[in-house]
Structure 1
Amino acid sequence: MLKTTSIAAAAAVATAMSFGAVQAAELKLSHQWSTSDVRHKVAEIVASEVAAANVDLEIKIYPSKSLFKPREQYNPLTRGRLDMVVLPLSYAGGQQPAYNLTLMPGLVKNHDHWSRLVESPFMDKLEEIMAGDDVMVLVHGYLAGGFGGKDRCITGPDDVKGLQTRAAGKAFEQMLAAAGASITSMPSSEIYSAMQTGVLQAANTSSSSFVSYRLYEQLKCYTPAGDVALWFMYQPLLMNKTTFDNLSAEQQAALKAGAAKAQAYYLDEAKKADAASVEAFKKAGVEIASMSNDDFTAWREIAKTSSYKAFVEQTPGGQELLDLALSVE
C-alpha cells in the first residue's frame, strides 16, 4: 500500500512539474521587418495583450530576421523550433504549392474583400493544409500594392505592352508577360536604381515599398490600391499548433483576444498605408491614376489564362482552391 501511494505521489509531483512547465512559458516570435513596420506592431499587440492578461506567458519577438532568414522560417515553425512567425505565406509555396494562391493577381479586390475572404471556405481549406504541417493562423492580414510607370500611367493590360517591368511575385510575372510586358526580376530594393538607369519602365510592388524606396522620385504616374487593386499579399501571424494546444485555457484565451485586437489593427493600418502612399506621391508631384472595375476584370481575364492556369496545373487540388477563392464576392 505504501509503495502504491509513493508511486501515486511521485506521479502527481511529475504531473505538477510538467503542468508548471507548460504554465510558465516563453514563446519565440520571428519576423523579417524593422520595429517600425506594421507587421512588427501586429506582433507587439499580441505580445502586450498576453502580458497584460497575466497568464504566465511571455512572447519574445525577434525582428529584422535576427532569428531566422525570411524564407527559412516556415520549416522551424512546423517542427516546433519556432513558436510564432509573421510571414508572407507564399514564401512557403515550395513546401505547400497551395500557398502560392495567397499572392495571386486579381484574387483580392480590396481590403474589405480580404476580410470576407479570410472568413470563407477558401481560408478553411488553406487552414486544413496548414494544420497538416502543425501550423495555425492567429492573425489574418493582407497588404496591398499598386503600379508605377516611369513614362506613363498603368491601369489596364494594354498599358504594359512593350514595357520592361518588375513584378512582385511569379504569378504577377506570368500575367504581365501574357499582357505583353518584358519581365525583369529583382528585389523591390533595386527598383529605384533600375528606373534611374533606364533598365525598368514600370514596376509592381507594395504600397509601403513605393514610399520607403522613394519611387516617387523616379515615376511619372502611380496607380495605388484603391476601390480595386490587383496586388494583395497574405501575411499572417502563424503559430505552431502543438505549442498552442499545450498551453492552458487561460493562455489560449489571452492569445486569441490579443489576436483579435491585432487583426482589427492590421486591417486599419493596411488601409492607412495605401492612403499614405497616395499623399507621398501627390506631394512629390507625381500623377495619380485609378484602376477601374473594367481594368480589374481585364487583368483577371489575362490571369485566368496565365497565372491561374499555371497554378492549377502545378498544384494538387488547385482548381478547387481557386474556385473557392473566386466565389467570394
Structure 2
Amino acid sequence: MKCPSLAKSLTGLLVAALPLTAALADSITLKASHQFPGGKGDVRDEMVQMIAKEVAAANVDLTIKVFPGSSLVKAPDQWKAMQTGQIDMTSLPLDYASGIHPQFGATLMPGLVKNHAHALRLNSSPFMQDIKAIIAQGGAHVLADAWLAGAFAGKDKCILKPEDAAGMKVRSAGATFAQMWAGAGASVVSIPSNEVYNAMQQGVIQGTDTSTGSFVSFRLYEQVKCITAPGDNAMWFMYEPVLISQRSWDKLNDAQKKALTTASKKAEDYFNVESKKLDDEMVETFKKNNVKVVTMSSADAEAWRAVANKTSYKVFAEKVPGGKELIEKALSVK
C-alpha cells in the first residue's frame, strides 16, 4: 500500500517541474554561418553579429552562434547546409544558389539596380516578391535585405561605355556580367577574385568588376589607372540577404520570432547606411592613390543595358523559367 504523503510529494515535484520543462523546450540555439571575415569590419559579418546581440538582449530564450569566415561551411555550400539542417541561418550572395534556383541569377544582373535608393525601392517590388517566393519554396525565409554595390576598373584606361571594353581581357564576377562583357567585345578570363591583383600585375587581364569593398580589400588601387564608381547609374549590384531556414523559423515561438524580426530590421537599416560608406571609402582610397575616379552618365548606363539586353537578359529569358518576366519586373521599377 502506497504512503499517501509520499504520493502527494511526488505529484508536487512533477507539477513543479512542468514549467521548467516548458521553458527548456522553448530555449533554442541557432547556428549562423557565412563566408565573410569576422572581427575585421566586414559589414555583412557586423549585420549578423548585430542580430545575435539584439536577440540575446531581448531575453526570449534564443541564442544565435555566429560562425564567420567559412569556419563551419564553405561559401558555395551554405544554401544546401541550411536546407539539410546543418546550419540555421546565413548571410549569402543569393546568386551562389542559382545552380539550384536559376532565377536567383537575376540578383547579380547588369544594370537592374541603379543605386542604393533604387535598391530600396526594388525590395518591395513585384520583382523581389517573386524572388522571395522562390526563396520560400526553397525552404528559407528572408530576415534582412542587403544590396552591395560594385564597380568597373581598367588597368590602363577608364571603362565608361561598352566600346571602352572592346579588345580588353576582363575578369568578371559572374556569368551574367561575363555575357555582357563578351557582348561589348571583351575577352573574358575566369579567375578567382583573390587572384585579380596578380593577374592585373602580370597583364593577364586589363579590366575587372567586383564589389566596392573588394576593390579596397584586394588593394586593386595599386594596379589600375581608372575606376568607374557606382554613383547614380551603377551597373553592378549584388543581393546578399540574411536568411533563416523555414524549418528553424517554425521552431520559434511568437516572442522569439518577434525579437528576431526586430533585430533583423535594425541590422538591415544599419547595413543600408554602411554599404553606402563602402562606396565612399573606395572612392576616397583610390583618389588617395592617384587613381582616376569616374561615374557613368545615364546615357552610358543605357548603352550598357542595351548590350545586356542582347546578351545577359536574352540568355536569362531563354534559359530560366520565368526569366523574361523577372527582368521586365525589375526594369519597370524606376
8 Å CA contact retained: 1:122, 1:324: yes
Partner residue in 2 for 1:80: 85
State how 1:105-254 maps to structure 2 within 5 Å.
105-254=110-259
Partner residue in 1 for 2:31: 28
Q: Would the alpha carbon gap of residues 294 and 84 (structure 1) be closer, same or farther in structure 2, given more than 3 Å must change?
A: same
**Secondary structure at the residue paired with 1:126?**
helix
1:89 aligns with 2:82: no
Question: Matched residues in 1 for 2:242 and 2:191: separation?
Answer: 26
1:248-284, Cα deviation, whole Å (9 max, x unpaired): 1111111011111111111111100000000000000
Q: Would the alpha carbon gap of residues 278 and 254 (structure 1) be closer, same or farther in structure 2, given more than 3 Å must change?
A: same
Q: Would the alpha carbon gap of residues 294 and 23 (structure 1) be closer, same or farther in structure 2, given more than 3 Å must change?
A: same
1:259 to 228, 248, 264: 264
What residue identity is the alignment partner of 2:314?
K
Q: Would the alpha carbon gap of residues 61 and 277 (structure 1) be closer, same or farther in structure 2, given more than 3 Å must change?
A: same
Shift of 1:242: 2.3
Partner residue in 2 for 1:319: 324
1:71-123, Cα deviation, whole Å (9 max, x unpaired): 00101212333110000000000110010110000010001111111111111
Question: Matched residues in 2 for 1:177 and 1:23: separation?
Answer: 54
Question: Matched residues in 2 for 1:130 and 1:19: separation?
Answer: 32
Question: Matched residues in 2 for 1:122 and 1:255: separation?
Answer: 25
Question: Matched residues in 2 for 1:204 and 1:170: separation?
Answer: 12
1:304 aligns with 2:309: yes
Shift of 1:21: 4.5
Question: Matched residues in 2 for 1:121 and 1:304: separation?
Answer: 20
Moved over 4 A (4+): 12-19
Higher Cα Rg: structure 1 or 2? 2
Name the stretch that deviates more: 77-86 or 275-284.
77-86
What residue identity is the alignment partner of 1:24?
S
Shift of 1:313: 1.3
Question: Matched residues in 2 for 1:108 and 1:194: separation?
Answer: 28
Aligned length: 320
1:1-43, Cα deviation, whole Å (9 max, x unpaired): xxxxxxxxxxx99997885454100000000011131100000
Question: Matched residues in 1 for 2:16 and 2:185: separation?
Answer: 70
Question: Matched residues in 2 for 1:197 and 1:62: separation?
Answer: 36
Q: Would the alpha carbon gap of residues 197 and 255 (structure 1) be closer, same or farther in structure 2, given more than 3 Å must change?
A: same
TM-score, reference length from structure 1: 0.94
1:177-205, Cα deviation, whole Å (9 max, x unpaired): 00001111111111111111111111111
What residue identity is the alignment partner of 2:239?
Y
Question: Matched residues in 2 for 1:66 and 1:190: separation?
Answer: 21
Percent identity among equivalent residues? 48
What residue identity is the alignment partner of 1:104?
M
1:40 aligns with 2:45: yes
**Secondary structure at the residue paired with 2:295?**
coil
What residue identity is the alignment partner of 1:93?
S
8 Å CA contact retained: 1:22, 1:246: no
Name the stretch that deviates more: 285-294 or 16-25.
16-25
Name the stretch that deviates more: 47-56 or 123-132.
123-132
Partner residue in 2 for 1:4: none
What residue identity is the alignment partner of 1:232?
F
**Secondary structure at the residue paired with 1:297?**
helix
Partner residue in 1 for 2:285: 280
Q: Would the alpha carbon gap of residues 221 and 50 (structure 1) be closer, same or farther in structure 2, given more than 3 Å must change?
A: same
- In structure 1, the gaps of 5 or more residues are 1-11
Q: Would the alpha carbon gap of residues 89 and 18 (structure 1) be closer, same or farther in structure 2, given more than 3 Å must change?
A: farther
1:295 to 300, 303, 306: 300
Partner residue in 1 for 2:7: none
Question: Matched residues in 2 for 1:173 and 1:17: separation?
Answer: 58
What residue identity is the alignment partner of 1:30?
S
Partner residue in 1 for 2:5: none
Question: Matched residues in 2 for 1:174 and 1:118: separation?
Answer: 25
What residue identity is the alignment partner of 1:194?
A
